[in-house]
Chain A
């Protein structure tokens, strides 16, 4: 092991592992968006703003109302799940028969709305929940516990969604609708209800992400603008609605960001990742795992 570590640059290894940890969180973000897209055929441009609202929810429950983290987190997840359902009911439902791009633009309006809502109500100050998790030191490498926790929680969240989709009736119906929207109505599935449930699950995943991200980043009304684009890129890179593709793309993206950041600033990691994305659009435009037609 010692010899291996000497040959292998220790910082490189640290960056690789940090990339994997980041990938877990990104995969969670991508899962929610992919679920909504796969089932309802709608892109929530405001997805990251839901996370932002969830982070504020965590901040208020934890720091202002002094609830323990383990109570605040489920409440926050429920809150964002309700927001997701509300978003579907108020904005998407009336537009289901409109051109798909209108739905995307309408959620763009919601993005503006939520962002300014946060500015007006919470102010533009950066807020921190003030949980300082220790740094884990393995040899000469350093990992933050927050990232580790987020990685594990993201994996648990993803497995929970997987089990739900595979083992329950509603989950089966959701997967069936994702495969064929028209037929399932004839099979007696209430699409309205399924859409609402899916939106709530999508919201819940955003809520879970909020609970985890709040441990790593300060909350401010514009944080969605830094989370959102990466999430969309991952979903497109993996193929919109393709769960496995999104999963693979998350880790690939996270590694590029992490390793790119190793050689220069973190922003250059993002620039590299975006460049990689454009390159992949030439090579695999329908997503990483898409079959070539």
Chain B
């Protein structure tokens, strides 16, 4: 990380990384590997969206619900009204945002935090799952749902059999997620949210509009998660309540984000790489005998991580690097921006 201080080095490094990532499908065309990469990118985006709230102590177990809304609304509009996903996805996002407001407003207004917030949002993913199952005449219930293959323009239907197209699309979406994460990380909202997660009353006394700040970050996170659901639906062309909504998915998001590292931008991506590769390796290595083993290992790992490595893999590695460079850090490495701004603000 010797390029830390150089103003030109970082943009160049980013540009190189972007070109390398974008070039992958043209160099290596193996469809199976591309499929895994696309899944990793889409899920990384979803996990990143979750971590935008999760890092501030807003532990939502309702993101499975947002994802389900994003996927199902888009697919239902396409199949029943023939509405192109280019318009359907924005509508789905609006639905997810409204849902986030309905659940978020009373929670934040009445200071529902911690356990309570987690359980209330858990109710949300339960509701979405139940509604999808109960309206099986339209949604196919627990058997799943398939957006109809288009007879006309593939671009209009946002469908494509070409994995390269999907890889590039997923890459853009994933990069967008990272940009939003970094943007929030450097904004005033981040300081406000940090203050709120430390002490709500003190933050409110210092002039932070607690309810509004929390709602902003929640709606943003819900929008992105719904987008992830819609993209996943368009790519897989099959969704079921178990793969895009419900508590299982919500917990999976939490798990990947925590394992990768909640407080660093690439943490959720690392989490997605680990979880998806683990599942695929078990599936290839043991075939159908492996059913359940991946989650068995996830579960045990999640417990171990929360007890021994609460900052996640990437967070802990960055901590180590930071420790080696600066012998006596007073602040955790996971919050470099705050450390920077704090040292800049306080007079020497």
Q: Bound complex: CA of A230 vs CA of B248, how far in Å? A: 15
**A37 proximity list for chain B (CB < 8 A):** 115
Query: Which stretch of A14-22, A75-83, A97-105, A140-148 is in the interface?
Result: A97-105
Tell me the minimal C-beta distance from A130 to chain B in angstroms.
25
Find out whether the CB atom of B120 lies under 8 angstroms from the CB atom of A281.
Answer: yes
Q: Bound complex: CA of A110 vs CA of B302, how far in Å? A: 8
Q: Which of A110, A229, A268, A282 contacts B122 (CB 8 A)?
A: A229
Q: Bound complex: CA of A3 vs CA of B12, how far in Å? A: 86
Known: A94-B307, A275-B127. A116 touches B299 (CB 8 A): yes
Q: Does B300 contact A (CB under 8 A)?
A: yes
Q: How large is the interface on A (under 10, 10 to 19, 20 to 34, 35 or more residues)?
A: 35 or more
CB closest residue in chain A, given B57 = A101
A82-122 near B? 1/0 per residue, CB < 8 Å: 00000000010011001111101110111111111111100
**B57 proximity list for chain A (CB < 8 A):** 99, 101
Find out whether the CB atom of B130 lies under 8 angstroms from the CB atom of A112.
Answer: no
Q: Which of B61, B106, B116 contacts A240 (CB 8 A)?
A: B116
Known: A106-B302, A225-B248. A116 touches B296 (CB 8 A): yes
Q: Which of A110, A236, A286 contacts B123 (CB 8 A)?
A: A236
Q: Does A171 contact B (CB under 8 A)?
A: no
Tell me the minimal C-beta distance from A271 to chain B in angstroms.
5
Find out whether the CB atom of B133 lies under 8 angstroms from the CB atom of A267.
Answer: yes
Q: Bound complex: CA of A95 vs CA of B308, how far in Å? A: 10
Find out whether the CB atom of A285 lies under 8 angstroms from the CB atom of B112.
Answer: yes
Query: Which stretch of B87-95, B150-158, B185-193, B287-295 is in the interface?
Result: B287-295
Q: Bound complex: CA of A119 vs CA of B310, how far in Å? A: 28
Q: Does B301 contact A (CB under 8 A)?
A: yes
**B307 proximity list for chain A (CB < 8 A):** 91, 94-95, 106
Tell me the minimal C-beta distance from A264 to chain B in angstroms.
8
Interface residues of B in 280-319 (CB under 8 A from A): 291-296, 298-303, 306-307, 310
Q: Bound complex: CA of A105 vs CA of B253, how far in Å? A: 11
Q: Does A233 contact B (CB under 8 A)?
A: yes
B106-146 near A? 1/0 per residue, CB < 8 Å: 11001010111011101111110011011000000000000
Find out whether the CB atom of A106 lies under 8 angstroms from the CB atom of B296.
Answer: no
Interface residues of B in 137-175 (CB under 8 A from A): none
Find out whether the CB atom of A108 lies under 8 angstroms from the CB atom of B254.
Answer: yes
Known: A43-B115, A111-B251, A233-B123. A117 touches B106 (CB 8 A): no
Tell me the minimal C-beta distance from B113 to chain A in angstroms.
9
**A12 proximity list for chain B (CB < 8 A):** none
Find out whether the CB atom of A110 lies under 8 angstroms from the CB atom of B299.
Answer: yes
CB closest residue in chain A, given B290 = A120
Find out whether the CB atom of B247 lies under 8 angstroms from the CB atom of A225.
Answer: yes
Find out whether the CB atom of A267 lies under 8 angstroms from the CB atom of B134.
Answer: yes
Find out whether the CB atom of A286 lies under 8 angstroms from the CB atom of B110.
Answer: yes
Q: Does B102 contact A (CB under 8 A)?
A: yes
Q: Bound complex: CA of A285 vs CA of B107, how far in Å? A: 8
Q: Does A251 contact B (CB under 8 A)?
A: no
**A285 proximity list for chain B (CB < 8 A):** 106-107, 110, 112
**B255 proximity list for chain A (CB < 8 A):** 108-109, 112
CB closest residue in chain B, given A49 = B299
**A282 proximity list for chain B (CB < 8 A):** 106
Find out whether the CB atom of B306 lies under 8 angstroms from the CB atom of A229.
Answer: no
CB closest residue in chain B, given A239 = B116
Q: Bound complex: CA of A116 vs CA of B284, how far in Å? A: 18
Tell me the minimal C-beta distance from A257 to chain B in angstroms.
11
Q: Does A265 contact B (CB under 8 A)?
A: yes
CB closest residue in chain B, given A120 = B292
Q: Does B180 contact A (CB under 8 A)?
A: no
Q: Does A136 contact B (CB under 8 A)?
A: no
**B49 proximity list for chain A (CB < 8 A):** none
**A104 proximity list for chain B (CB < 8 A):** 59, 115, 118
CB closest residue in chain A, given B59 = A101
Q: Does B258 contact A (CB under 8 A)?
A: yes
Tell me the minimal C-beta distance from B124 to chain A in angstroms.
8
**B251 proximity list for chain A (CB < 8 A):** 45, 108, 111-112
**B131 proximity list for chain A (CB < 8 A):** 271
Interface residues of B in 178-225 (CB under 8 A from A): none
Known: A95-B307, A100-B114, A119-B292. A229 touches B126 (CB 8 A): yes
Most chain B beta-carbon neighbours within 10 Å: one of A110, A113, A229? A229
Find out whether the CB atom of B127 lies under 8 angstroms from the CB atom of A271.
Answer: yes
Q: Bound complex: CA of A230 vs CA of B106, how far in Å? A: 20
Q: Does A183 contact B (CB under 8 A)?
A: no
Q: A residues engaging B (CB < 8 A)?
A: 37, 43, 45, 91, 94-95, 98-102, 104-106, 108-120, 124, 221, 225, 228-230, 232-233, 235-236, 240, 265, 267-268, 270-271, 274-275, 277-278, 281-282, 285-286
Instruction: Please give me the 6 A-B residue pairs with the lowest Cβ-Cβ distance, nearest first.
Output: A113-B299, A109-B302, A119-B292, A112-B299, A267-B134, A116-B295
Jot down 16 A-B pairs with beta carbons below 8 A, ordered by A. Answer: A43-B119, A102-B306, A108-B254, A108-B255, A109-B298, A109-B302, A112-B295, A113-B295, A120-B293, A120-B296, A229-B123, A236-B116, A236-B120, A278-B106, A285-B107, A286-B110
Q: A113-B295, A119-B291, A233-B123 are in contact. List 14 more A-B contacts (CB 8 A).
A: A43-B118, A108-B302, A109-B298, A109-B300, A113-B296, A113-B300, A116-B294, A221-B292, A232-B123, A240-B115, A270-B134, A271-B127, A278-B123, A286-B110
